[in-house]
Amino acid sequence: MRKRLYFLLPDLGEASKTVDELLLARIDEKHIHVMAKQGVDLGDLPEASIFQTSDIVHGVETGIVIGGITGLVASIIAITALQVGSVMGLIVLGCTLFGAGFGVWTSAMIGSSTKNSRLKEFELSMEEGKILLIADVPIDKVDDINHKMQAHKETIMGGSDPSIPVFP
Protein backbone atom coordinates (compact mmCIF):
# COMPACT_ATOMS: atom_id res chain seq x y z
CA MET A 1 0.00 0.00 0.00
CA ARG A 2 1.03 3.56 -0.63
CA LYS A 3 0.05 6.88 0.85
CA ARG A 4 -0.18 10.01 -1.30
CA LEU A 5 1.68 12.96 0.23
CA TYR A 6 1.42 16.59 -0.91
CA PHE A 7 4.16 19.21 -0.59
CA LEU A 8 4.20 22.84 -1.70
CA LEU A 9 7.65 24.02 -2.76
CA PRO A 10 8.73 27.64 -3.30
CA ASP A 11 10.42 27.31 -6.71
CA LEU A 12 11.75 24.96 -9.40
CA GLY A 13 15.20 24.73 -7.80
CA GLU A 14 13.76 23.49 -4.52
CA ALA A 15 11.43 21.14 -6.42
CA SER A 16 14.39 19.65 -8.29
CA LYS A 17 16.32 19.11 -5.03
CA THR A 18 13.28 17.54 -3.39
CA VAL A 19 12.66 15.17 -6.31
CA ASP A 20 16.33 14.13 -6.14
CA GLU A 21 15.96 13.44 -2.40
CA LEU A 22 12.88 11.32 -3.03
CA LEU A 23 14.72 9.36 -5.71
CA LEU A 24 17.61 8.79 -3.29
CA ALA A 25 15.04 7.59 -0.72
CA ARG A 26 14.10 4.92 -3.30
CA ILE A 27 10.77 6.42 -4.36
CA ASP A 28 10.35 5.51 -8.03
CA GLU A 29 10.01 8.38 -10.48
CA LYS A 30 6.65 6.98 -11.62
CA HIS A 31 5.35 7.69 -8.09
CA ILE A 32 6.50 11.34 -8.07
CA HIS A 33 4.32 13.96 -9.75
CA VAL A 34 5.04 17.68 -10.05
CA MET A 35 2.49 20.39 -10.90
CA ALA A 36 2.69 24.14 -11.39
CA LYS A 37 0.50 26.86 -12.83
CA GLN A 38 -0.28 26.79 -16.53
CA GLY A 39 2.68 27.72 -18.71
CA VAL A 40 5.50 26.94 -16.24
CA ASP A 41 8.24 24.80 -17.79
CA LEU A 42 9.07 22.04 -15.31
CA GLY A 43 12.13 20.91 -17.25
CA ASP A 44 13.03 17.31 -16.52
CA LEU A 45 10.85 17.01 -13.41
CA PRO A 46 8.19 14.24 -13.60
CA GLU A 47 5.01 16.08 -14.56
CA ALA A 48 1.64 15.06 -13.17
CA SER A 49 -0.52 13.15 -15.64
CA ILE A 50 -4.25 13.38 -16.27
CA PHE A 51 -4.76 10.90 -13.43
CA GLN A 52 -3.41 13.43 -10.92
CA THR A 53 -4.67 16.67 -12.50
CA SER A 54 -8.26 15.63 -13.24
CA ASP A 55 -11.12 13.82 -11.52
CA ILE A 56 -10.98 10.90 -13.96
CA VAL A 57 -10.34 8.26 -11.27
CA HIS A 58 -13.22 9.49 -9.12
CA GLY A 59 -15.41 9.62 -12.23
CA VAL A 60 -14.64 6.02 -13.17
CA GLU A 61 -15.33 4.81 -9.63
CA THR A 62 -18.65 6.66 -9.53
CA GLY A 63 -19.59 5.61 -13.05
CA ILE A 64 -19.11 1.90 -12.47
CA VAL A 65 -21.31 1.96 -9.37
CA ILE A 66 -24.10 4.15 -10.76
CA GLY A 67 -24.01 2.49 -14.19
CA GLY A 68 -24.04 -1.01 -12.71
CA ILE A 69 -26.98 -0.22 -10.45
CA THR A 70 -28.84 1.44 -13.32
CA GLY A 71 -28.21 -1.58 -15.56
CA LEU A 72 -29.40 -3.94 -12.84
CA VAL A 73 -32.61 -1.95 -12.33
CA ALA A 74 -33.15 -1.77 -16.11
CA SER A 75 -32.71 -5.53 -16.38
CA ILE A 76 -35.27 -6.15 -13.63
CA ILE A 77 -37.71 -3.86 -15.41
CA ALA A 78 -37.04 -5.63 -18.72
CA ILE A 79 -37.57 -9.07 -17.20
CA THR A 80 -40.80 -7.95 -15.57
CA ALA A 81 -42.11 -6.33 -18.75
CA LEU A 82 -41.04 -9.07 -21.16
CA GLN A 83 -41.84 -12.02 -18.89
CA VAL A 84 -38.93 -14.11 -20.13
CA GLY A 85 -37.90 -17.15 -18.17
CA SER A 86 -34.96 -19.05 -19.60
CA VAL A 87 -32.75 -16.10 -20.56
CA MET A 88 -33.41 -14.11 -17.42
CA GLY A 89 -29.83 -14.48 -16.14
CA LEU A 90 -28.36 -13.36 -19.44
CA ILE A 91 -30.55 -10.26 -19.49
CA VAL A 92 -29.54 -9.32 -15.94
CA LEU A 93 -25.86 -9.90 -16.63
CA GLY A 94 -25.92 -8.15 -19.99
CA CYS A 95 -27.79 -5.08 -18.78
CA THR A 96 -25.66 -4.77 -15.65
CA LEU A 97 -22.39 -5.04 -17.60
CA PHE A 98 -23.64 -2.63 -20.27
CA GLY A 99 -24.75 -0.15 -17.61
CA ALA A 100 -21.43 -0.38 -15.77
CA GLY A 101 -19.46 0.01 -19.00
CA PHE A 102 -21.53 2.94 -20.19
CA GLY A 103 -21.26 4.54 -16.73
CA VAL A 104 -17.49 4.17 -16.73
CA TRP A 105 -17.18 5.65 -20.21
CA THR A 106 -19.40 8.68 -19.60
CA SER A 107 -18.02 9.39 -16.13
CA ALA A 108 -14.44 9.10 -17.37
CA MET A 109 -15.18 11.62 -20.11
CA ILE A 110 -16.68 14.05 -17.62
CA GLY A 111 -13.97 13.44 -15.00
CA SER A 112 -11.12 13.95 -17.47
CA SER A 113 -12.38 17.45 -18.24
CA THR A 114 -12.83 18.40 -14.57
CA LYS A 115 -10.03 19.62 -12.29
CA ASN A 116 -9.08 17.30 -9.46
CA SER A 117 -11.23 18.35 -6.51
CA ARG A 118 -8.55 17.20 -4.04
CA LEU A 119 -6.13 19.80 -5.45
CA LYS A 120 -8.50 22.74 -4.98
CA GLU A 121 -6.74 23.83 -1.78
CA PHE A 122 -3.41 24.11 -3.67
CA GLU A 123 -4.66 26.11 -6.69
CA LEU A 124 -4.10 29.57 -5.18
CA SER A 125 -0.57 28.67 -4.07
CA MET A 126 0.27 27.33 -7.55
CA GLU A 127 -1.09 30.52 -9.13
CA GLU A 128 1.28 32.46 -6.85
CA GLY A 129 4.20 30.49 -8.32
CA LYS A 130 4.63 27.62 -5.88
CA ILE A 131 5.25 24.07 -7.11
CA LEU A 132 3.07 21.18 -5.96
CA LEU A 133 4.84 17.86 -5.49
CA ILE A 134 2.73 14.72 -5.12
CA ALA A 135 4.50 11.58 -3.94
CA ASP A 136 2.97 8.12 -3.64
CA VAL A 137 5.08 6.71 -0.82
CA PRO A 138 5.08 3.16 0.62
CA ILE A 139 3.38 3.13 4.02
CA ASP A 140 6.59 2.14 5.82
CA LYS A 141 8.47 5.19 4.43
CA VAL A 142 5.87 7.89 5.16
CA ASP A 143 7.38 9.03 8.46
CA ASP A 144 10.90 9.08 7.01
CA ILE A 145 9.83 11.14 3.99
CA ASN A 146 7.84 13.59 6.14
CA HIS A 147 10.87 14.00 8.41
CA LYS A 148 13.12 14.71 5.40
CA MET A 149 10.66 17.28 4.04
CA GLN A 150 10.46 19.07 7.41
CA ALA A 151 14.19 19.77 7.08
CA HIS A 152 13.34 22.07 4.15
CA LYS A 153 12.34 25.32 5.85
CA GLU A 154 10.35 26.68 2.89
CA THR A 155 8.47 23.46 2.15
CA ILE A 156 4.82 23.44 3.20
CA MET A 157 3.40 20.08 4.18
CA GLY A 158 0.14 19.77 2.25
CA GLY A 159 -1.26 16.72 3.96
CA SER A 160 -1.96 13.25 2.65
CA ASP A 161 -4.64 11.06 1.14
CA PRO A 162 -5.73 7.70 2.51
CA SER A 163 -3.87 4.62 1.44
CA ILE A 164 -3.96 3.79 -2.26
CA PRO A 165 -3.45 0.38 -3.88
CA VAL A 166 0.00 -0.80 -4.86
CA PHE A 167 -0.69 -0.96 -8.60
CA PRO A 168 0.36 2.17 -10.54
- Which 3-state string (H, E, C) describes the chain? CEEEEEEEECCHHHHHHHHHHHHHCCCCHHHEEEECCCCCCCCCCCECCHHHHECHHHHHHHHHHHHHHHHHHHHHHHHHHHCCCCCHHHHHHHHHHHHHHHHHHHHHHHHHCCECHHHHHHHHHHHCCCEEEEEEEEHHHHHHHHHHHHCCCCCEEEEEEEEECCCC
The string of pLDDT tens digits covering residues 72-96 is 998 888 888 877 767 787 888 888 9
**pLDDT at residue number 118:** 79
The string of pLDDT tens digits covering residues 25-59 is 888 888 888 888 887 777 788 888 788 878 888 88
**pLDDT at residue number 164:** 61
**pLDDT at residue number 64:** 92
Mean pLDDT of the chain: 82
Q: For residue 168, what pLDDT band results from cuts at 50, 70 and 90?
A: very low
**pLDDT at residue number 70:** 93
> Mind listing the domains of the chain with CATH numbers?
2-53+116-164 (3.30.70), 56-112 (no CATH)
Q: What is the rounded average pLDDT of the residues 8-13? A: 84
